[in-house]
């Protein structure tokens, strides 16, 4: 861990292999730096969810370029620990058309308390709908539920068709 508390600092095109190596690196660092087993398990769970989320969204772009030399599947991912608090930042490109629906889902999640999140989770779990990778919209609900905090997000405009989605999670 660096003096600033940064444990993982990834910037680049994510693929399955990189995803696995970041996860195993994170697991080792959590074992070394976190004595509280419950916290370490929580953070790892949220890391898995947020990284796989990044991977699935970015993977769908294939090899397409957003602009010269920058592929659409470029992502940023940071895990840092400050005192007893973990901060995760995950950023990926997103089509403009997908921003409003995503914003709607995040705001819905942020509007719920602990019990409300649990009920929504159960409802989505049992709605019989599957996304390509199986989760079917449970990811953000699960992250909010496990972190116990609101999802802090922003969108930045990149060009007419694409934006950058930045999600910050506090655990």
8 Å CB contact between 6 and 33: no
Chain centroid, CA 163 distance in Å: 16
Position of tokens 């608090």?
85
For residue 110, give the H/E element and its range.
helix 96-110
Binding mask 63-102 for another protein (x = CB under 8 A): ----------------------------------------
Size of the site for another protein (CB under 8 A): 30
Copy the structure tokens of residue 151. Answer: 């999802």
Of 89, 125, 164, 166, which one interacts with another protein (CB under 8 A)? 125
Helices and strands, counts by H and E, the chain: 5, 7
Nearer to another protein, 14 or 91 (CB): 14
Of 52, 76, 87, 149, which one interacts with another protein (CB under 8 A)? 52
- Of the listed pieces 5-13, 63-71, 126-134, 160-168, which binds another protein according to CB under 8 A? 126-134
C-alpha dist (Å) from residue 44 to 9, 13, 24, 94, 157: 15, 21, 10, 25, 30
Q: How far is the CB of 25 from another protein (least distance, A)?
A: 12
For residue 8, give the H/E element and its range.
strand 6-13
Copy the structure tokens of residue 60. Answer: 């769908």
- Of the listed pieces 77-85, 92-100, 125-133, 156-164, which binds another protein according to CB under 8 A? 125-133
Query: What residues make contact with another protein under the rule CB under 8 A?
Result: 16, 19-20, 23-24, 37-38, 41-42, 44-45, 48-49, 52, 55-56, 118, 121-122, 125-126, 130, 133-136, 138-139, 142, 146
């Amino acid at each position: 861990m660096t003096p600033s508390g940064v444990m993982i600092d990834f910037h680049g095109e994510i693929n399955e292999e990189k995803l696995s190596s970041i996860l195993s690196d994170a697991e080792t660092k959590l074992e070394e730096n976190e004595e509280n087993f419950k916290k370490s398990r929580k953070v790892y769970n949220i890391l898995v969810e947020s990284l796989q989320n990044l991977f699935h969204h970015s993977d769908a772009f294939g090899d397409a370029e957003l602009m010269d030399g920058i592929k659409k599947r470029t992502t940023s991912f940071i895990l840092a620990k400050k005192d007893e608090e973990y901060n995760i930042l995950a950023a990926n490109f997103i089509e403009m058309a997908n921003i409003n629906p995503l914003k709607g889902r995040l705001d819905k999640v942020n509007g719920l308390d602990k019990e409300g999140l649990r009920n929504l989770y159960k409802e989505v779990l049992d709605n019989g709908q599957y996304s390509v990778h199986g989760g079917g919209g449970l990811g953000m609900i699960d992250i909010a539920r496990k972190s116990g905090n609101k999802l802090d997000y922003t969108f930045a405009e990149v060009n007419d068709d694409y934006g950058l989605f930045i999600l910050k999670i506090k655990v």
